[in-house]
Structure 1
Amino acid sequence: MDDRALQALAATAEGQSQGRALEYFEHLKQSNDGWKLCAQAFTSGRYQSSDHVRFFCLQVIEHFLKNRFKVSVLQDHQDVRNFILTCLQIQGENQTQEKTFLKNKIAQIASLAFVVDYPQQWPSFFTDLLQTLNLGHLAIDMYLRICLAIDGEVVDREIVHTEQEMVRNNFIKDAIREQCVTQLTESWYQIMTGYQESHPEVTCMCMEVVGKYISWVEIGLIANDKFVPLLLSFMKMPLLRESACDCIHEIISKGMEPVAKTKLVESFTSVLESTGVFSQSQDEDADFLAKLSKLVNGIGINLTGSWQKLVKAKEMENASMTLQALENKVPLMFRFLGDEDDDVSGAVTSFAQEYISVLKQIRPHAAKQRENIEGLLCHVINKMKYDESYNFEQEGEDEAMFQDYRKQMKTIFNNLAQLDGELVLVTVHGIITRTLVQWESMKLADVEIALSLLYTLGEALPASNGQHFTGDLNKATALQEMMRLMITSRVSCHGHSAVVLQFFETVVRYDKFFTCEPHHIPDVLMAFMDERGFRHSAAHVRSRAAYLFSRFIKSLRVHMQNYVEDVLKRMQELLILNTPDNGCHLLSNADQLFMYEIAGSLIVSSNLVIEKKQLYIKQILTPIVSKFEDMLTKLLVESDQKKQLAYAQGINNAMALASRASKGFSSQKTMQQYSCTPAFTDALKIFIQAVNVPVHRQLIQVGVRQYLHRMVVCLEEEILPFVPLVLENLLKQPDAKELHDFLPLMNQLIMKFKSAIAPFLQGVFMPLVGTIYQVLNSPSDALDPNAADDKKMLQRSYFLFLSTIVTNDVIDVLKNQEMQNLHNLLITVVQGAVEVPDPQSQKLCFLILRRLVEAWGGGEDGTGFVNFMYKSIIPACFMAPLKSTFDLRDGQSSLALGECAACLKSMLAKKGENFKTYLQAEYLPTLNLPPELSQEFCLAMESEIKIFRNYLKHFFSKAKS
């Protein structure tokens, strides 16, 4: 061994030395005898004090076993065997405690050798292992670790195995069952009885082994008069009881026939109950209680599974016995579900869920079952309450864990509502009634849970489109009473943010209530507006209130007519822009977006006269524009980089707010209808000045584009003169990402105005396309990983732009280009179809070509297109799918091939027999296709498009094979 290289394995070694060690590591892994050198070094004792060197040796041996052992010579197999047994011998004789990571690695090496050599080449594997057990607890420790490692290789269902490995594993398990399983189970019994007091950790590991192997060994070898009393005795020993719990859980979870499974579970449960194991007090160790809870959970799930199988098999007598056994375990489930420790409670939730699923299949319910349903509901509601230690101000890991636990309880609550909606409704109604009439004198947890349950009813009780207040009269009446009480009780004035937030959440969930009783709207509006909502002392409450208020207003816009001006007046303070100079006001930039959207929506949907609407819109936009100009001026003279960024972000935010203020308008409610066009176009004139800013150009252009997108929706032709101004600045310093981000705006304009945009588009088309060519053909920075992606996205956007033109009645924009420009453009589309290894771009290109064929392929039209069709488009339809980069199995490529097929059929539809003759006589022979296959291809083209697509896929698959 190269000691100098090995010394560099230490964590303190320098980089160069570590590099040498890695090279030596690779050399030993690839060397035929490297593993032998490592095996000798490991067992020689020479490196006994160097754990990192010994682990290094084991990794080399592991590499050999995983990659070359199966095909190695017999002597290598014998040498590996000797190495493993020597390791066990050394461990026992020297009584030297290895580090855990070394022991686990040795066990893994033994398991890798085992799966290759057992049973043919090493039939005495387990006999050899068992002979080492008399060497003491350290040798036993290694034996048990090897058993666990074998389980990982052969049995563990969480590890994905190939079909070949599964066949091998079944063969190994059969051999163990036939040859030595009795000796193995006997060894486990001897270990558990012999070391329970002197080395309890060994006994615990042995129980883990039993739990792993029980899934495939004969149940009678473990569930017998010898093992069971031993395991039960361990349940009373503090150092062993948790492992005993897990072991019993694995035993009762073994796959068995349902009647036998029920008997097994009942026998264990009966003895455990008789010994008082389940009667532990809540002061008991929480970890042990959690294990017990898990065991009870396993008991319930296994009994449920047996019942389901028996019902399916129509064995009703046995099913009835199993159901009774299950019912008898419900008090156990309640005991652990109600435990004050959430880990203990959470461990039994699956039992609760499964029990509910059983009750859903049984109608009507017996008195005891109804009592169980009520008890389960009571436990769930109680466990959903916040603990006094919950830190609302600074939620950490404990709080996050409780929220996850609470979600589990809510799931059970929802399932109980599906099982007995009336009971849940009556229960929650009672809690709401008792709580809200005296909320001021009640604990926070009780008030919060009352509102939370009312909120949760919205998802627990089915309702079409949130219509909880129509249909079922009992439900509608109860919900109305609870909502009315929640609002009139003024519980929204509670001092704790959790209650206030739950109030707002509930109000928005049941917004349809205010359609039934609109006279409650003013109270809720005030709650949002005052210190309970937007002016609350906690920022997270203000933020959530802003979002919820926007939903509330949208839903109840029709009922807001009487409150519009008052709401707008109270919102004035909330609409003050946050700037680098004046800091942040009550709401953050993100929260203000909702405020501006609400303001715009209220104004547009109100019954106010147009003059007032104009005035209010102007009052909203004027401060934005003023602050925008101020920040833009300061940005242009600012030299400090941090302040530059702050001003750029402020500029972007100002445009975002103006965009959101326009949300009240739409293609149906245009600005023109309300004479609000000047206010928004005047703002646009100012905003466009920012596209020339030399710093943070992209950030600011995002805001300009966002505003333009909104204006395309809300304005008519008034928007068109502004686009060339943006485009002109864009073309001065072309950038792939900016062009890619700009093209969707052009597509939006084309889709909205269609042929009406043709004159405008004619003027900007070639400058824009020329700039795109220039950027795509410019050299990329090899060190910039994003440059290639930006170009790929721009290329795809370019093809999408062209496809938008040919599908929206402005195809003449292409036809009216100079002949050479049109030809160059068509060449880029053909190249995109054939050369670009991006199936989405290829699909777009074939779509463009098909549309052009449909428009221009019928005759000579002066563009020379028909000639181009024969010389370029037809070859593209064949060359693209034949490319090695065109994966016919890929979903996106299949879509591209579908467009290719449609393109071919369009050419056939336009040129008919002439097209078929050209294919058969001139083009297809260049592909060395026999005449009969060419004829078959042309016949296939005449079939329906779906049939031809499938044919084309088969045709190219065969051609590429």
Structure 2
Amino acid sequence: MQNASKNNKKIIGCTLYFIKPRGHLYDCYYYPFVGMDEEALRGLNPVSDPQLQRRALQYFEQLKSLDSGWKLCAEAFVNGSYHGNDHVKFFCLQVIENYLKTGYSQANLDDHQNIKSFIARCLQLQGSEGTQDRSFIRNKIGQIISLAFVQDYPHRWPSFFTDLLQTVSPNHHSIDIYLRVLLAIDSDVVDREIVHTAEEFQRNTLIKDAMREQANGQLAGTWYEILTTYETSNPEVVCMCLDVIGKFISWIDINLIANDKFVTVLLNFMTLTLIRESACDCITDILNKGMDPIVKTKLVESFTNVLEERGILNPVEDEEGDFLAKLSKLVNAIGVNLILAWQKLLKTEDKENTEATLQALESKVPLMFRFLSDEDDDVSGAVAQFSQEYIALLKQMKPLSQKQRENMEGLLYIVIKKMTYDESYDFEHEGEEEAMFQEYRKQLKTIFNNLAALDAQLIIVTVHNILTQTLPNWERVDQLETELAISLLYQLGEALPEKENDNRNFILQATQGQHFSGDLTKASVLQEMMRLLITSRVSCQGHMSVMLQFFETVVRYDKFFSVEPQHIPDVLMAFTDERGFRHRSAQVRSRASYLFSRFVKGVRSHIHNYVEEILQRIQDLLVLNTPDNGYQHLLSSDDQLFLYETAGSLIVCSNLPSEKKQTLMKNLLSPIATKFESLLTKLVAETNQEKQLAYAQSINTATALASRVSKGFSSQQTMQVCGCVDTFTDLLRLFLQAVNVPIHRQLIHTGVRQYLHRMVVCMEKEILPFVPVVLENLLKQPDARELHDFLPLMNQMIMKFKNAISPFLQEVFMPLVSTIYQVLTTPTDELDQVTANDKKMLQRSYYLFICTIVANDVLDVLKNQDMQNLNQVLITFIQGAVDIPDPQSQKMCFNILRKLVDSWGGNDGMAGFVDFMYKSIIPACLMAPMKPSFDLNDGQTSLALGECSNCLREIYGKRGDEMIQYLQSEYLPTLQLSQQQTEEFCQVLKADSKMFRTYFKNFFMKAKS
């Protein structure tokens, strides 16, 4: 008898267990149950109020932390007090599960016996006719028993299976829980999808070895009894038993299952509607078991022959789809395992069995064809692996037999037929079924590509025949067949090899876009097919699936237009009329806007004569979407980004004079400029919050569109060369009016900053006068995130303009730094993690800003500051290196200090800096690594420590023995280092950097240990 402690008496109650041994089982006698917190348990109900739910969670944690908490839950579960209350019962099981996972391995003998008693009682209760627990409760019981099993068997509980089988009663409730226990054991011990530690793997190996010796034969006997006893009375139990067999077969003796009595039962089950799917899965698992290739071939053949004799592998056409999918999976296992056996035998000298296995495999190809061609995609997809592995096998066979070549052609025919969209496919509103078909089509494309790698000429001839039969007759052919034909042409780009193979020049010429020829006598078949695609006028078909595939294909093979540029106008027209940008489907319009940008880049050198016509045709599509026009435009704002970028690229890369380019660029950007000021005015005047946001988004879009136009400029065709500087600076003046708008400030500033970034790339010094306007506004209403977002712009300008930006930077430097630290030191709510993270990112951005100044030799910005201000800035580097628990910031600070030492640490350096090195930098290098937050085992911190050691080495390089003398006589003694430690430190410091870096880390590892 075990009594609860006084402290736990109110919670736990009184006596819990009295254990009486009886053979291998244990009976549990319980005193009257007392002590569960009923108020807390009410919170387990999902509809209870949040306060009660929190109390229930607290109670759960309390019971988990108490040594006797699991015992209380065990008693509550088995004594029937909560019969029918699934929430409480599951709660109790979770507490027990936690104990088994965290504390049971250290259990004493009494607790071990208590767990065995609890398990025995659970099995008895679940096996009784009166207990009807739901599946999730019974599954959890199975998991709990398995958790005890993996820790106790075979050493502490060698009789586990004997005890388990003694509790199995001749009723389906008892059989059900028994099978659930075995499934849970499989999950914990065998399941390969669960990652196990090395210790768990060793434990599981020991368990399986013991089970093979002691239990598996007995278990298999029970499975046979279950299958034969319940095949008609309880199909659910039979299906669960088949599941167990399928899982255990991977590691138990195959002869326990693959014998006459079991196989007879399994084959009989294949004709029983309620059981056949599980039987099919079980046979599949048997065939997938690893074994000797000769034995595997015989096993597969024996099963296949019997299944074929019974007509099971040749089902009627109207057979149920789910069962057909299972059969297809079985056929896949038959094929894949025969291929695997053949591959193993191929490495031996056993030619007779190798040939026999190959013949067995070849005889299964018609089965693969039958299921691959099934109307149901789930059935078809289940043999995709067999198809792919068979093609891989054929690659190893040279030369191919006539029958194998016929198999290739048959497989290609099936794949092409199955790639066709079903009439029910909803292109406008693609849902789950459509997504599943797209995944299935990817599988078919993989088979198609594999066939092409095996015989490219077969693929080319087949696709060519399909195109020549379909495209000229597109007006009379079903639209789905038309889409398929174009899709196959597109797929050739991935499928065909890119290197010469077996000297087949015909194939080589047809590779993706690389071998189009201007000489029509040398033109490839691919070139002929592309010409047919354009000249057939199939782009007028109109259906969205056809149009999408058409545009994808012309973009994939854009090099075709380099050798036959006469077809470019037809494609340009298709993009810009009702077939593309003005198609009735928004999906086509959107995709066309993106593909058009790629097409223009591909044929850029051939469209100079069409630039103005293109711009004229798309002019009405470039009108800015705003709340006032109700967003009625054909293209969304995201689509317009591609169109504006393409338009800008067309203008910049054209052969037009700079004056004409300037005019065209002004015309392109005028829709933005025209509406921008009115949008600002309406935003400020608007009181409705939804409309305010809409106006702000339109303003952001306007700046984004202008930014994308500027991407057309290059290092050769610069903004200056094209005469477009004034156009973009005028637009910049317009945009800068928005930075003073207080409404949706962040959204608007993001757009303006984006535009400024682009202007820094495209302009020269013309951009510099505009930056103070943004900075001035930013400093008025400082915000951590805005400052963080603004500093990269400063870095970009420093890296581009270097010394040229120095006068401007000197002027704004201290106001900017002061504002940054004003924001960083402003008190905030400790629970406000968003603001805290914003400040952390701003801190890093500040140090990166200084790093950029130092790295780009703009040190005059610091040097010319007032001495007091400079000292304050230098102190921020010391603080960042020592006091900020952020290794990235620390690394940057030590990097800054090292570079300042390099520039100012010599005798001709900055006045007063040498004193700063001795009084601040050296102490910082030795204080920072001693901080508790400085984790020497962390990768980022190690980088910071490396910069720290480099900093000391840099000081030594500048000051030499003077530094050594200072360390020995003044500084290191203050750290309570012995004379020997001081000498050692200085000697290694004078050695090479690599040696000192290693010593430096070990020095602090020892100091902090």
Q: TM-score range by the shorter chain?
A: over 0.9
CA distance in 1, matches of 2:76, 2:469: 77
Q: 1:136-285 counterparts in 2 under 5 A?
A: 136-285=171-320
Does the CA-based 8 Å contact 2:129-2:173 persist in structure 1?
Answer: no
Corresponding residue of 2:639: 591
Q: CA deviation at 1:217?
A: 1.3
Question: Structure 1 residues 657 and 16 mapped into 2: Cα distance closer, same or farther (>3 Å)?
Answer: closer
Question: Given the alignment of the two structures, is residue 121 of structure 1 paired with residue 156 of structure 2, yes or no?
Answer: yes
1:86-120 CA distance string (max 9 Å, x none): 33333444354322122212222222222233233
Deviates more, 1:760-769 or 1:107-116: 107-116
Does the CA-based 8 Å contact 1:666-1:713 persist in structure 2?
Answer: no
The 3-state SS of whatever aligns with 2:628 is coil
1:878-937 CA distance string (max 9 Å, x none): 333343333344333333333334333333332334344444554444445555555555
Pick the aligned partner of 2:528 from 473, 481, 486. Answer: 481
Question: Given the alignment of the two structures, is residue 47 of structure 1 paired with residue 82 of structure 2, yes or no?
Answer: yes
Q: What letter corresponds to residue 469 of structure 1 in structure 2?
A: H
Q: CA RMSD in A?
A: 2.5
Deviates more, 1:281-290 or 1:326-335: 326-335
CA distance in 2, matches of 1:958, 1:296: 65
The 3-state SS of whatever aligns with 1:279 is coil
Q: CA deviation at 1:333?
A: 1.7
CA distance in 1, matches of 2:721, 2:415: 55
Question: Given the alignment of the two structures, is residue 339 of structure 1 paired with residue 374 of structure 2, yes or no?
Answer: yes
Corresponding residue of 2:427: 392
Question: Structure 1 residues 31 and 594 mapped into 2: Cα distance closer, same or farther (>3 Å)?
Answer: closer
Pick the aligned partner of 1:101 from 120, 136, 140. Answer: 136
CA distance in 2, matches of 1:883, 1:418: 61
Corresponding residue of 1:779: 827
Question: Given the alignment of the two structures, is residue 356 of structure 1 paired with residue 391 of structure 2, yes or no?
Answer: yes
TM-score by length of 1: 0.95
Q: CA deviation at 1:28?
A: 4.0
CA distance in 2, matches of 1:308, 1:56: 52
Question: Structure 1 residues 894 and 64 mapped into 2: Cα distance closer, same or farther (>3 Å)?
Answer: closer
Q: CA deviation at 1:952?
A: 4.2
CA distance in 1, matches of 2:622, 2:48: 61
Question: Given the alignment of the two structures, is residue 326 of structure 1 paired with residue 361 of structure 2, yes or no?
Answer: yes
Corresponding residue of 1:540: 587
Question: Given the alignment of the two structures, is residue 868 of structure 1 paired with residue 923 of structure 2, yes or no?
Answer: no
Question: Structure 1 residues 915 and 643 mapped into 2: Cα distance closer, same or farther (>3 Å)?
Answer: same
Pick the aligned partner of 1:468 from 514, 526, 532. Answer: 514
Question: Structure 1 residues 334 and 896 mapped into 2: Cα distance closer, same or farther (>3 Å)?
Answer: farther
Does the CA-based 8 Å contact 1:62-1:109 persist in structure 2?
Answer: yes
Q: What letter corresponds to residue 561 of structure 1 in structure 2?
A: H
Question: Structure 1 residues 25 and 815 mapped into 2: Cα distance closer, same or farther (>3 Å)?
Answer: closer
Deviates more, 1:671-680 or 1:686-695: 671-680
Q: What letter corresponds to residue 391 of structure 1 in structure 2?
A: D
Q: 1:709-728 counterparts in 2 under 5 A?
A: 709-728=757-776
Q: 1:941-956 counterparts in 2 under 5 A?
A: 941=989, 945=993, 949-956=997-1004
CA distance in 2, matches of 1:131, 1:144: 14
Q: 1:760-909 counterparts in 2 under 5 A?
A: 760-909=808-957
CA distance in 1, matches of 2:450, 2:56: 60
Unaligned 5+ residue runs, structure 1?
none
The 3-state SS of whatever aligns with 1:121 is coil
Does the CA-based 8 Å contact 2:583-2:589 persist in structure 1?
Answer: yes
The 3-state SS of whatever aligns with 1:763 is helix
Q: What letter corresponds to residue 299 of structure 1 in structure 2?
A: I
Q: What letter corresponds to residue 606 of structure 2 in structure 1?
A: H
Does the CA-based 8 Å contact 1:579-1:650 persist in structure 2?
Answer: yes
Question: Given the alignment of the two structures, is residue 695 of structure 1 paired with residue 730 of structure 2, yes or no?
Answer: no
CA distance in 1, matches of 2:361, 2:772: 76
Q: CA deviation at 1:417?
A: 2.2
Q: CA deviation at 1:960?
A: 3.5
CA distance in 2, matches of 1:670, 1:110: 74
Q: What letter corresponds to residue 700 of structure 1 in structure 2?
A: I
Does the CA-based 8 Å contact 2:128-2:173 persist in structure 1?
Answer: no
Corresponding residue of 2:92: 57
Q: CA deviation at 1:228?
A: 1.5
Report sequence identity in percent.
65
Question: Structure 1 residues 15 and 426 mapped into 2: Cα distance closer, same or farther (>3 Å)?
Answer: same
Q: What letter corresponds to residue 854 of structure 1 in structure 2?
A: D
CA distance in 1, matches of 2:1005, 2:393: 52
Corresponding residue of 1:371: 406
Corresponding residue of 2:21: none
Deviates more, 1:408-417 or 1:70-79: 70-79
Q: CA deviation at 1:40?
A: 3.5
Deviates more, 1:551-560 or 1:881-890: 881-890
Q: CA deviation at 1:842?
A: 2.2
Q: CA deviation at 1:946?
A: 5.2
Question: Structure 1 residues 214 and 825 mapped into 2: Cα distance closer, same or farther (>3 Å)?
Answer: same
Q: CA deviation at 1:656?
A: 1.6
Question: Structure 1 residues 46 and 734 mapped into 2: Cα distance closer, same or farther (>3 Å)?
Answer: closer
Q: CA deviation at 1:25?
A: 4.1
CA distance in 2, matches of 1:420, 1:388: 31
Pick the aligned partner of 2:544 from 497, 502, 509. Answer: 497
Corresponding residue of 1:76: 111
Question: Structure 1 residues 309 and 940 mapped into 2: Cα distance closer, same or farther (>3 Å)?
Answer: farther
Question: Given the alignment of the two structures, is residue 656 of structure 1 paired with residue 737 of structure 2, yes or no?
Answer: no
Question: Structure 1 residues 472 and 678 mapped into 2: Cα distance closer, same or farther (>3 Å)?
Answer: closer
The 3-state SS of whatever aligns with 1:242 is helix
Does the CA-based 8 Å contact 2:517-2:524 persist in structure 1?
Answer: no
Pick the aligned partner of 1:511 from 534, 537, 558. Answer: 558
Pick the aligned partner of 1:521 from 544, 568, 576. Answer: 568
Q: What letter corresponds to residue 723 of structure 2 in structure 1?
A: S
Question: Given the alignment of the two structures, is residue 624 of structure 1 paired with residue 690 of structure 2, yes or no?
Answer: no
Q: CA deviation at 1:396?
A: 1.1
Q: 1:659-674 counterparts in 2 under 5 A?
A: 659-674=707-722
Deviates more, 1:503-512 or 1:151-160: 151-160
Pick the aligned partner of 1:293 from 294, 317, 328. Answer: 328
CA distance in 2, matches of 1:193, 1:759: 94
Question: Structure 1 residues 871 and 297 mapped into 2: Cα distance closer, same or farther (>3 Å)?
Answer: farther
Does the CA-based 8 Å contact 2:552-2:595 persist in structure 1?
Answer: yes
CA distance in 2, matches of 1:914, 1:476: 79
Deviates more, 1:671-680 or 1:555-564: 671-680
CA distance in 2, matches of 1:73, 1:528: 79
Corresponding residue of 1:560: 607
CA distance in 1, matches of 2:772, 2:605: 40
Q: What letter corresponds to residue 85 of structure 1 in structure 2?
A: A
Corresponding residue of 2:28: none
Does the CA-based 8 Å contact 2:518-2:564 persist in structure 1?
Answer: no
Q: CA deviation at 1:681?
A: 1.1
Unaligned 5+ residue runs, structure 2?
1-33, 500-510
Question: Structure 1 residues 54 and 593 mapped into 2: Cα distance closer, same or farther (>3 Å)?
Answer: closer
Question: Structure 1 residues 7 and 817 mapped into 2: Cα distance closer, same or farther (>3 Å)?
Answer: closer
Pick the aligned partner of 1:306 from 329, 341, 345. Answer: 341
CA distance in 1, matches of 2:1000, 2:523: 59
Deviates more, 1:810-819 or 1:372-381: 372-381
CA distance in 1, matches of 2:880, 2:1000: 20
Q: CA deviation at 1:543?
A: 1.2
Question: Given the alignment of the two structures, is residue 439 of structure 1 paired with residue 482 of structure 2, yes or no?
Answer: no
1:811-858 CA distance string (max 9 Å, x none): 221111111222211211122122222222222222222221221122
The 3-state SS of whatever aligns with 1:782 is coil
